[in-house]
Amino acid sequence: MAAGSFRRRIASQLSKVLDLPPENLINSISAVPVSKKRHVADFQFSIASVTENSSSDYLAQDLHRQAEKLAERLKCDSIVSEISAGPGTVNFTINRELLAKTVLQQVWKDGSEYGVKSELFSTVPRQKVVIEFSSPNIAKKFHIGHLRSTIVGNFIANLKAALGHEVVRINYLGDWGMQFGLLGVGFQSFGNKEKLKSSPLQHLFEVYVQINKAAEDENTKKLAKDFFRKLEEHDEQTLSIWKQFRDLSIEEYIRIYKRLGVHFDEYSGESFYQEKAQEVLKILDNKGLLQKTIKGTGIVDLSEKKDLSLVSTVMRSDGTSLYITRQVSPSVDLAAAIDRMNKHSWDTMIYVTDKSQSNHFQHLFQILKLMGYDWAERCQHVSFGLVQGMKTRRGEVIFLEDVLNEVRSRMLQNMTSTKTTKEIQDPVETAEKVGLAALIIQDFRGLLSSDYQFSWDRALQSRGDTGVFLQYTHARLHSLKQMHGNAELTDVNVACLQEPDAISVLQHLLRYDEVLYRSSQDLQPKHIVSYLLTLSHLAAVAHKTLPVRGSAPEVAQARLCLFQAARSVLANGMKLLGITPVTQM
């Protein structure tokens, strides 16, 4: 990794002066973010990382003096051309030609693995990671509420896979419960087999709306209970209807996931764990963890003092495990977690859901620990906030497909108003990819746990910090290759890349591994989003000030190589976020 070789060289110098092993110093040496003030060093070493006394008074008074002293003891060489002291840091500037040569060579050599081969990841063990995300309810159209879980889970899976982990993507469907009793009765009354085949989820949605009007009717309630009881008893005809609902739902979802660029290794669901959930209840009972309330409901006491001040309900009063909602019942999830460990022997399991389910997962992990499963420590809940104000032109939006169609249509309209759209081979497909980038970047710009207000105007701006701008930049950089051909790295004279705007792009490329490392630690996509937006702005400035056309051949080749490196890293980052880069726009 480009940054890695420079970090090691700086650590080696520091090691001799500080009398510390170089490997203890590497993580305290970081690439300096590019500044609009132009001249910034390439790396900085934090003095606080080697200071024993870390009181704030001591830090404020003494760190700068220590940095100055250390900078005086260090010497420039063929790699480091300048050393200076900053507030609590020692700053290192790399020989400019060596910087350009090393960064471009590394991007060229590593291709799609640039950044992930960094020594920052060398101590991170390769793991088997199970990620559960998306999880819509079958027999219902894909609700917009599941979009965040889908794109966040996809990002985490992409990132983990890129870093060399073995990833299992699981879609845990809401495919069981009393609502299927109601839907089954509704289909018997209002269902149409032809409509079910031609537009399954739309038809089931219509059926559900109709039967829901009679949901409070005692006869309807009784019929729904009877239908669900037959389902629990594995009645062949009833199961056949339910299975058809499930299979048709998955087919529809796969079609929508394809539009989102998302895939799953396994479609699971609450229905898989009916019997296993009963086994879990027996284990809880045998371990003395299952208690009964006066009403006969089964609970697990999670309070520290064992005074029932914090309990989790795991069983209905009729002795069956709860399926109603995740917030109410962890019993099915307990069975699923145990089953996944038996099946996959995972190292980490990540659940991606909205933050309203945080308590449910805290209870789930606590009960697993009480049951004696130490691996519960390796379960993780990645939560996210709510999206507000997502409306189509027709009003408040409910279904994801309406949003995807809307963003594609708006994007197509925007593209049609520009001169270049006529040349695009498949404008509808391009509009789809650019529109999805717009949705993803608006979603990923902030902390995942934050709620945010959705805005079509903000999302679809072609300038500013948007997914449209990322796609536009990628297409523009790609067009340079189309116009001028590939630059061969062997022909590049790096002395032609000494302008401030070229150096800014190179410095920014140097930081990519640190950004990936940060996202890998907290699973927040915002670090990568911010990095790619800055890269796009820097590339846009360089594109204006460092023209390829009309420049001397040697200069043109060097600049072309710089722009190809920027495009390559931009594409890599976009793919991690779940965005397919476009080559025309």
Find tokens 């149409």 and name the residue.
192
Catalytic residue check, 381: no
Query: Exposed (0-12), middle (13-18) or buried (19+): which is 416, by Cβ within 10 Å?
Result: exposed
Kindly report the number of other CB atoms within 10 A of residue 188's CB atom. 13
- The dihedrals phi and psi of 168, each to the nearest 5 degrees, come to -115, 115
The radius of gyration of the chain from alpha carbons, rounded to an integer in Å, stands at 28
Helix or strand (DSSP H, E) at 407: helix 400-416
What is the rounded CA–CA span in Å between residue 143 and residue 256? 11
Pinpoint the alpha helices (H) of 19-168. 56-73, 96-110, 147-162
What is the rounded CA–CA span in Å between residue 87 and residue 64? 5
From 101, 140, 508, 543, the catalytic residue:
140
3-state secondary structure of 390: coil
Helix or strand (DSSP H, E) at 90: strand 89-94
From 143, 213, 282, 292, the catalytic residue:
143
Contact 320, 329 (CB under 8 A): no
Based on DSSP, count helices (H) and strands (E) in the chain, helices before strands.
20, 16
Between the two ends of the chain, the Cα-to-Cα distance in Å is 32
Angle at CA 353, nearest 5°, toward 301 and 272?
70
Contact 365, 307 (CB under 8 A): no
Catalytic residue check, 484: no
The 3-state secondary structure of 156-195, one letter per residue = HHHHHHHCCCEEEEEEEEECCCCHHHHHHHHHHHHCCHHH
Q: Is 38 left (phi over 0), alpha (psi -120 to 50) or beta?
A: left
- The dihedrals phi and psi of 354, each to the nearest 5 degrees, come to -75, 160
What is the rounded CA–CA span in Å between residue 435 and residue 16? 53
Contact 97, 495 (CB under 8 A): yes
From 101, 146, 160, 230, the catalytic residue:
146
Q: Measured between alpha carbons, how far is residue 129 from residues 132, 151, 376, 379 in Å? A: 10, 17, 14, 10
3-state secondary structure of 538: helix
Catalytic residue check, 140: yes
CA atoms within 13 A of residue 368's CA, in its CB half-sphere:
24
What is the rounded CA–CA span in Å between residue 42 and residue 80? 10
Query: Exposed (0-12), middle (13-18) or buried (19+): which is 306, by Cβ within 10 Å?
Result: exposed
Active site residues: 140, 143, 146
